[in-house]
Amino acid sequence: MANVILVGAQWGDEGKGKIIDVLTEQADIVVRTQGGNNAGHTVFVGPTKYVLHLIPSGILRPGTVCVIGNGVVLDPAGLVAEIDGLARLGVEVTPASLVISETAHVVFPWHRELDGQREVRKGNQKIGTTKRGIGPTYGDKAARVGLRVTDFVNASRFPARFAERLAENNEILRALGAQPIDHDSVLAEYTRCADRLRPFVTNTVVMLHEATRRGANVLFEGAQGTFLDIDHGTYPYVTSSNTTSGGACTGSGVPPNRMDRVVGVMKAYTTRVGEGPLPTEDAEISDLLHGMGREFGATTGRMRRCGWFDAVATRHAAMVNGIDELAVTNVDGLDSVRSIRVCSSYRFEGQTLRHVPSDAEVLARCEPVFEDFPGWETPTDGIRRWEDLPVNCRHYLLSIAQMTGARLSIVSVGPARDQTMFL
């Protein structure tokens, strides 16, 4: 399989978890390189549903080594809860199957509290974050005041560093009129988590370097999606990490010349959860998908906003990620649609735009220009071979791949492993 970077080509929730799980069959190692437990990756194995937040989706394939890389922000209590939740479902997570980078940054309760407080202060300008403390934790990392896993698991060093960070953040919380964080109970909780997680912690940069030198196949599991990228997304309506393919290198320590290809995952339509522009948003397709019980967030349960496929956006995603191959998921979501719309350009103040404008306010005022495709109006979820898909469906999929500018390689017609076709 070689070393593959998998990214979301839209606004997150493209079905990355399902595709990662399918591709993990050929991988020795799966690495998360950015984001935190804001992610929610859904994988079905038979009838059992797993939702992974911090642990790479590769954990569900026995024998795979999963890595939480240095670019991730790690909520210790969230991770311990996730390990325990997997154990209840029969998946044992051990230091042989999961390793954690020493230099990942740690999320604290003040980060979550500040995340929430900032959202309240923004009022109707709010981002609609997951309130997991992601932005404030990456903020501390950039400001060089964050605590890393190596500080967290160092029992002699941690209490003083913790107390120092708590004191400063409590001053900020008090100034905002929020409740300060309690020292003793939180320190006790973090100490308990550190004792649980210490055996998992290692130098993942060296470990990955040695593994790739031995010829291991590594899959880099992207979280969030291209338009949530801190640099390339619809700023400020973004998350706080590089969700695009470059983040796989900086977030793991594996250099660009060790990467072999980039797979972009996208839905056959578009969704977004949280605030910010979504040019192709449409009530008809939203009602249809929500009516089918689909498109509710895996992390927060919020209703996802839905729209038609936006080829301007995915073309932009192909450009900034260097996408070689496309995996298109949720094709079955369009099974009942008579005429399917695809946005091929935007209109802004009388001009035609073929790229996503950098300014989110401009993007919010763009009108989508649609091309219409005839639907296939027949169920696809039982189909297992590309040749057996309705001709209109194949035409639609090849067209959106061509408009995106990458090769169609995987088609998904349901959440299960076997509802996957390779071209």
For the chain, first and last CA: distance in Å? 15
| Burial of 116 per CB tally in 10 Å (0-12, 13-18, 19+) | middle
Stretch in the footprint of ligand GDP (CB under 6 A) among 39-47, 187-195, 242-250, 399-407: 39-47
Is 50 strand, coil or helix? strand
Would strands 105-106 and 65-68 be described as parallel, antiparallel, or unpaired? Answer: unpaired
Which of ligand IMO, Mg ion, ligand GDP, none does residue 129 bind to, with CB < 5 to 8 Å depending on kind?
ligand IMO
Among 18, 32, 41, 267, indicate the residue that binds ligand IMO (CB under 6 A).
41
| Burial of 98 per CB tally in 10 Å (0-12, 13-18, 19+) | buried
Which of ligand GDP, ligand IMO, Mg ion, none does residue 128 bind to, with CB < 5 to 8 Å depending on kind?
ligand IMO
- Letter for the amino acid at 198? R
Closest listed residue to residue 116, CA positions, set 127, 100, 106: 127
**Shortest distance, CB of residue 297 to ligand GDP, whole angstroms?**
7
Residues 124 to 143 in contact with ligand IMO, rule: CB under 6 A = 127-130, 132, 134-135
Stretch in the footprint of ligand GDP (CB under 6 A) among 8-16, 148-156, 202-210, 231-239: 8-16
Is 305 among the residues that bind ligand GDP (CB under 6 A)?
no
> Between residues 274 and 335, which has the closer beta carbon with respect to ligand IMO?
274
In contact, 263 and 324? CB cutoff 8 Å: yes
Residues annotated catalytic, as ranges: 13, 41
Is 111 strand, coil or helix? helix
What is Dmax (Cα atoms) for the chain? Answer: 66
> Between residues 34 and 412, which has the closer beta carbon with respect to ligand GDP?
412
Is 40 among the residues that bind Mg ion (CB under 5 A)?
yes
Is 224 among the residues that bind ligand IMO (CB under 6 A)?
yes
**Shortest distance, CB of residue 53 to ligand GDP, whole angstroms?**
10
In contact, 98 and 55? CB cutoff 8 Å: yes
Q: What angle do CA 19, 73, 187 make, to 5 degrees?
A: 135
CA atoms of 360 and 234, how far apart (whole Å): 5
Task: Give the contact letters, 326-345, x = binds to ligand GDP (CB under 6 A), - = no.
Answer: ---xx-x-------------
Among 16, 105, 148, 232, indicate the residue that binds ligand GDP (CB under 6 A).
16
CA atoms of 410 and 155, how far apart (whole Å): 47
Is 223 among the residues that bind ligand IMO (CB under 6 A)?
yes
Residues 187 to 206 in contact with ligand IMO, rule: CB under 6 A = none
Which of ligand GDP, Mg ion, ligand IMO, none does residue 332 bind to, with CB < 5 to 8 Å depending on kind?
ligand GDP
- Letter for the amino acid at 162? F
Is 420 among the residues that bind ligand IMO (CB under 6 A)?
no
State the residues that interact with ligand IMO by CB under 6 A: 8, 12-13, 38-41, 127-130, 132, 134-135, 223-225, 228, 239-240, 273-274, 298
